[in-house]
Amino acid sequence: MTEIRIGLIGTGYMGKAHAVALKSVASVFDTGLRPICETICATTLEGAREKARAFGFNRATDDWRTVVADPAIDAVVIASPQSTHMDIAIAAFENGKAVFCEKPLASHAEDCRRMMAAAEASGLPNMTGFNYIRTPASQFAHDLVQSGRIGQIHYIRAEHTEDFLSDPQTPSHWRTKDISNGCMGDLAPHIINAALRLAGPISSVSADIQTVHSERPGADGPEAVTNDDQAHLMCRFQNGAMGHLFISRVATGRKMGYAYEIYGDKGSIRFDQEDQNALWLYLAEGPEAERGFRKILTGPVHPDYLPFCQGPGHGTGYQDQIIIEMRDFLKAIETGTPVWPTFRDGLEVQLVTEAAWKSSKTGTWATV
């Protein structure tokens, strides 16, 4: 098996997830390439060394430039703060590395566009990290829609809701300040990506975006919250379908509310990531007395489940989504063929976000 050396930039939440995925992906899947955890990059050298030890990397650094310039590195995984994505990615492409970059690519479409241009100019494999859509259930949902199993889609309702800031007494921190785009920057990309994947391109949106708790306790008294807590948008899709997307970090009680309902004229699909191993399917066929939403437990017959377990209903989890992503990234490198979602797909998501911002300001529908 060919080895491929990886540089991982970022050691936080997503950094760790990718580190674990790199360790196990070639044992879970029958990949042609086996990734080697070569270099890990953190903000301090001490931190990087600690994480190299913890995650099992050969080398540690506090300078991402040495990673992207290192001839021993074949591919770069970017899991650092959003504001650093663009410079790293572009430099990596310039140095001939394949790049996997966490969502959102950048804070604004213009930067995403530059990243995409660099990626496509380089001809190198590039991929954006939208992990939730990789569950066997959501992959199967996509297959069902594509195959026409639920007919022509006319409505989709989707949300990405969590409640980590629902308590107004939760202190001010970086997520509530200018450095972040709020829930529209953090959570919206996931669910916009899901909507695009499941229902196709969005042509226009009408959005309403709000900061629910306008100040939070800071070190020296109340501090202003300068970005949004909740948002929602009505969409029209190119195929005529209507949609509604709801994004919130103050949805009390919701922990991983990445959920959608898709209504077609032959059937419907419901999914909630809080029970990620089940897909609910209604088919308008067979005796009416026997119709109902069926709770399908994912298993070996569903996309990408079997390598994790031979038994249906035994379940995959969060970490497994990242492993699936990494398998796809390896496949893109091995075959030289782009694997969805590329940087271009990452840009598409950002364009919807920007239309929502615009609509929210003008009070009218905005074209994507």
CB of 126 to a copy of itself, least distance (A): 25
CB of 110 to a copy of itself, least distance (A): 27
Cα three-residue angle 291-292-294, rounded to 5 degrees? 120
Q: Is 273 in the site for a copy of itself (CB under 8 A)?
A: yes
Strands (E), 64-181: 75-78, 98-102, 126-129, 153-161
Q: Is 142 in the site for a copy of itself (CB under 8 A)?
A: no
Peptide bond before residue 338 is cis, with ω within 30 degrees of 0: no
Q: Directed axis angle between helix 188-199 and helix 343-362, to 10°? A: 110
**Which structure tokens are listed for 116?**
């995409």
Give the range of 102-110, 118-126, 304-312, 345-353 binding a copy of itself by CB under 8 A.
304-312
Give the range of 75-83, 180-188, 195-203, 240-248 binding a copy of itself by CB under 8 A.
240-248
**Which structure tokens are listed for 232?**
């929602």
Within 8 A by CB and 6+ apart from 194, the residues are 130, 132, 133, 138, 158, 258, 260
Q: Is 174 in the site for a copy of itself (CB under 8 A)?
A: no
Among 5, 108, 142, 213, binds a copy of itself (CB under 8 A): 213
Among 8, 9, 17, 90, binds a copy of itself (CB under 8 A): 17
CB of 352 to a copy of itself, least distance (A): 16
Among 316, 342, 350, 353, binds a copy of itself (CB under 8 A): 316
Among 1, 71, 174, 221, binds a copy of itself (CB under 8 A): 1
Cα three-residue angle 68-64-77, rounded to 5 degrees? 65
Q: Is 275 in the site for a copy of itself (CB under 8 A)?
A: yes
Give the range of 41-49, 83-91, 151-159, 341-349 binding a copy of itself by CB under 8 A.
151-159
The DSSP code for 172 is: P
* 73/269 with CB nearer a copy of itself: 269
Q: Is 178 in the site for a copy of itself (CB under 8 A)?
A: no
CB of 91 to a copy of itself, least distance (A): 27
Q: Is 293 in the site for a copy of itself (CB under 8 A)?
A: yes
Among 5, 157, 177, 358, binds a copy of itself (CB under 8 A): 157
Among 82, 107, 128, 206, binds a copy of itself (CB under 8 A): 206
Q: Is 32 in the site for a copy of itself (CB under 8 A)?
A: no
Distance spanning both ends of the chain, measured CA to CA:
44
Letter for the amino acid at 128?
Answer: T
Q: Is 112 in the site for a copy of itself (CB under 8 A)?
A: no
Residues 49-108 that bind a copy of itself (CB under 8 A): 53-56
Q: Is 16 in the site for a copy of itself (CB under 8 A)?
A: yes
- From 328, 276, 336, 331, select the one nearest 128 (Cα to Cα): 328
Among 63, 292, 340, 367, binds a copy of itself (CB under 8 A): 292
Q: Is 306 in the site for a copy of itself (CB under 8 A)?
A: no
CB of 45 to a copy of itself, least distance (A): 19
- From 182, 212, 216, select the one nearest 353 (Cα to Cα): 182
* 122/276 with CB nearer a copy of itself: 276
- In this structure, are residues 162 and 254 in contact, taking their beta carbons and an 8 Å threshold? yes
CB of 348 to a copy of itself, least distance (A): 22
The dihedral over CA atoms of 132, 260, 279, 284, expressed in degrees to the nearest 10, equals -150
Residues recorded for the chain:
368
Compute the distance between CA of residue 217 and CA of residue 235 in angstroms, rounded to an integer: 36
Residues 319-348 that bind a copy of itself (CB under 8 A): 319-320
Q: Is 46 in the site for a copy of itself (CB under 8 A)?
A: no
CB of 37 to a copy of itself, least distance (A): 8
Please give the order of strands across the beta sheet that includes 267-272: 278-283, 267-272, 257-264, 153-161, 242-248, 230-237, 202-210, 366-367
Please list the residues that pair with 210 across neighbouring strands: 230
